Amino acid sequence: MITLKGFAVKDFLQGYLTCDSARINSSLPTPMALCTLKGRVLANGWALELADGVGLIVHRSLAEDVITFLKPYAMFAKCAFDTLATPVNVENSEDSARNFLAHWSIANDQDPTPEQKDVSLTFSELMAEGGMVFINKTLSQKFLPQMLDLHVHGAVDFDKGCYLGQEIVARAQFRGAVKKQLGQFQWQGLAPAIGDTWQNLEGIKGDVLYVSAAASSQAGSSDLASGYGLWVTRKTEDSPN
């Protein structure tokens, strides 16, 4: 989590996040993305209102990039980064009003304890099962928000005011110019790597965003590793707009 403080922080973020900053609250993290001028997603995640600012939850590999990107604009708006990057404590919860992922919410207590374990892998699996993407540095600045289905999961408000990259994102949406889409693929044998352009047996290519842990499957006399993944691939004629 990156913490941003200052006068009218939400007003400042309104000009940079894809979500309507008025929706940012202290209970349910708000899905959001930060785009470049070309409309490509620099980072995505969630925004959370804090007692003295707003926290932006992004992938740990992109925290420094986000700060570097926003810092000149933030200084002009008299906002400053108070906390540069800290791990986020999460907890199991049945309170749907707080859950930003199935049965998981941001913990009220953010003080780390020695017995806490890293649940990043669990989160990656849950998000992939739900068709959700949380990009890292390898995937940064490569895709429009719609290619990652961020608008499907509430991270993009098309009726809000202008923000960085908004013109390109909106034009692609309303003119049907998004030519690539998020999808699931199956792999067998050698698992592709995140960021690779991978081709399946049908000759379809896509950019790999997530790869599941390998499982063994019996094929003749050999055990072949197999699994699934998420990728961005070209839309077909029968794909929904």
Question: With helix as H, strand as E and coil as C, how does 97-160 read?
Answer: CCEEECCEEECCCCCCCCCCCCCHHHHHHHHHHCCCCCCCHHHCCCCCHHHHCCCCCCCCCCCC
Helix ranges restricted to H, 31-119: 63-76
Q: Does the domain at residues 2-88+120-174 carry the CATH identifier 3.30.1360.120?
A: yes
Q: What is the pLDDT of residues 124-174, one digit of tens each?
A: 999 999 999 999 999 999 999 999 999 999 999 999 989 999 999 999 999
Q: What is the pLDDT of residues 68-86, one digit of tens each?
A: 999 999 999 999 998 777 8
Q: What is the pLDDT of residues 185-232, one digit of tens each?
A: 999 888 999 999 999 989 999 999 999 987 755 444 456 788 999 999
For 206, the token pair is 């896509």
Q: Where are the domains of the chain?
A: 2-88+120-174, 180-234
Whole-number percent of the chain with pLDDT over 70: 93
Q: Residue 235 — very low, low, confident or very high, per pLDDT cuts 50/70/90?
A: confident
The rounded distance, in Å, linking the Cα atoms of 99 and 121 is: 18
In a 13 Å sphere around the CA of 99, the CA atoms on its Cβ side amount to 10
Q: Which residues of 23-58 are buried (b: 16+ CB within 10 A; e: fewer)?
A: bbeeebbbbbbbbeeebbbbbbbbbbbbeebbbbbb
Under a CB-based contact definition with an 8 Å cutoff, are residues 146 and 178 in contact? yes
Q: Residue 43 — very low, low, confident or very high, per pLDDT cuts 50/70/90?
A: very high
Q: What is the pLDDT of residues 17-30, one digit of tens each?
A: 999 999 999 999 99
Say if pTM beats, i.e. exceeds, 0.85. Answer: yes
Question: Does residue 110 carry a pLDDT above 90?
Answer: no
Under a CB-based contact definition with an 8 Å cutoff, are residues 154 and 210 in contact? no
